[in-house]
Amino acid sequence: MNETSDFSAAGELVCPAGTPAALRTAVDAGADSVYCGFRNATNARNFPGLNFTAEELEASVAYAHARGARVLLALNTYPPAGKVGLWRDAADIGVRAGVDAFIVADMGVAHYIAETHPGARLHLSVQAAASSPEAIRYYCQHFGVRRVVLPRILTIPEIREIKREIPCEIETFVFGNHGLMVEGRCSLTNWLTGQSTNMDGVCSPASDVTYEREADGSMRSCLAGFTIDAFGPEENAGYPTICKGRYVAPHRPEGYYAFEEPVSLNLGRLLPELMAAGVHAFKIEGRQRSKSYVRSVVSNFRRAVDDIRAGAEPNLADLVALTEGQKETQGAFKSKKWR
Amino acid sequence: MNAPDAAVGPPPGRMMPVGLMCTALRPVLGRVVRRIAAHHPEMFARIAPYETADFVIVPKELPFALHLRPEPSAPMLRAVPKDRLPPFHACIEGRFLLLLELVDGESDGDAAFFSRDLTISGNTEAVVSLRNALDDIDGSVAQETADLFGPPGRAVLNILRRRSGRQ
């Protein structure tokens, strides 16, 4: 564990990395912190070919620290009952690698780290879905949590109110997945595939995803054999997740987004308001995305945060080409009537 | 294994030149893939479950496709006529310059998928594994390939990059 890490500067940019190359790209593009996970079920992006070995993590931590950046290890899934060994081992490896903080969701994992590695810094994952002062204070009091990653369902005035009532830092997502489900509780993938987003670490596992192309250029995305959306030849597509599927129902025979639309969060224009509300760190979603995405998004938000710190208007480039469905929203942060 | 898609076939009348082109490219592509494999052995761990899988990569505007099998001990990359695609586990189709940028870490595959500029079929997990393996390579695979062929290779790459607006 790196005990000397300085987390004091507000406006910390927390950036994703699915591979060591992406981590180096994020650091070089101006990330203050980079979050990543191991190649197993201990994190919520347990995708094929993605993530880090213990050796890769250790080398990546050295790379980041040499350039003044921090590494946060995501252990943000829930161990099945009685099978906590993988998560405990991951925490021990993270400490040996010198990570700067752990991002946890499960109370058992938090308890283990707090007891076994009392110097370790704990951040509460969005997967814990802690959105009330009472819930957040509970994690702070019992496990020494120093930062909460808030669910993406709160307005800025609500965040400001929460900040007044909790003893820890706040991190909010500012770009990427819109994430309106009760995070850490969603069982839609489990329902169709038998794999758990929250315990196996994979939402819509690629092994169960197929794309069926029709002669006219239209495309169906399917999960475990069920069609979850169909796109016309020129229509923008989204991820093959059930929550963003389009369904036919007796009252909506034309098909409709029953849960949420394929659209990405982009709070670039709200950064000053978020900082004024007491948000300490800005998180960019996308450990499953490429180096190209990391480079573009991180460098843009780096400039924006630096502009704000210099008292200037943030000048963000157009990132809509990188967004899901090629559409973006400020979601609940702007108004709970965003739909 | 998936059957080839007849929709990606070439215009009629170009069969012989394409066949000859594929034959001529075979030693060149073989050299390229062996070089990349030798320089980036770490990528194979990310694609280990699919190292014997057959990937077909279809550049839309070229008369041939590429057949890749990322086997560490004997990596294979060859050009194949579009009307004679081999059986494949996964197929990736897009503009040639987009595919080049994806391999080079200069474009984002998810964004290209969202905009429908990139089409995938067959085994999605194999495609995701290949994408992540390639994305963990530092530097430019295209540049490495061009360097392999000296000044002529670099000249061709510069022309391609100018066309894609990267220079």
Q: pLDDT tens, B7-40?
A: 444 454 445 589 999 999 999 999 999 999 999 9
First and final CA of chain A: distance in angstroms? 43
Q: What's the total number of domains in chain A?
A: 2
Closest residue of chain A to B92, computed from CA coordinates: A211
C-alpha distances out from residue A76 to A91, A122, A126, A268, Å: 11, 11, 8, 26
Among A86-90, B24-28, B132-136, B140-144, whose mean pLDDT is lowest?
Answer: B140-144
Cα→Cα distances A310→A33, A38, A128, A272, A317, Å: 20, 37, 34, 12, 18
Strands ordered across the beta sheet of B119-122: B76-81, B64-69, B55-59, B90-94, B119-122
Tell me the per-residue pLDDT of B147-157, one tens digit each, with 9 for 90 and over. 888 898 889 88
pTM to 2 decimal places: 0.93
Structure confidence by residue, pLDDT tens digits, A180-215: 888 899 999 999 999 999 999 999 999 999 999 999
Are residue A21 and residue A36 in the same domain, yes or no?
yes
Cβ separation of A293 and B108 shorter than 8 Å? yes
| Domain co-membership, A47 together with A169 | yes
Question: Does residue B153 lie within any of the structural domains?
Answer: no
Q: Does B129 touch chain A (CB under 8 A)?
A: yes
CB contact under 8 A, A210 and B124: yes
Residue B150 included in any domain: no
Percent of chain B with pLDDT over 90: 69
Same domain? For A214 and A127 the reply is no
- CATH at A323: 3.20.20.70
Q: Are residues A193 and A289 in the same domain?
A: no
Cα–Cα nearest to A302, from A315, A292, A287? A315
| Domain span holding position A148 | 12-180+263-334
Residues A17 and A105 in one domain: yes
- B147 Cα to chain A: minimum distance (Å): 22
Site from A27, A46, A218, A291 to mutate, B interface, most B CB atoms within 10 angstroms? A291
Is B97 an 8 Å CB contact of chain A?
no
> Which residues of chain A are under the pLDDT cut of 70?
1-6, 8, 338-339
Residue A321's pLDDT is 86
The CATH number covering residue B36 comes to 3.30.1050.10
Maximum C-alpha span of chain A: 60
Nearest chain B alpha carbon to A215: B7
Encoded amino acid at A123, one letter = H
Single-letter code of the amino acid located at A232: G
pLDDT of residue A271: 94
Looking at residue A157, its pLDDT comes to 96
Q: What is the ipTM of this complex?
A: 0.92
The pLDDT value given to residue B4: 61
Q: What percent of chain B has pLDDT over 70?
A: 90
- What pLDDT does residue A319 have? 87
Total tally of structural domains belonging to chain B: 1
Last residue of one domain, picked from the residues A257, A275, A307: A257
Q: So what's the pLDDT on residue A181?
A: 80
Per the prediction, chain B carries an average pLDDT of: 88
Residues of B with Cβ-Cβ distance to A237 under 8 angstroms: 113-114, 116
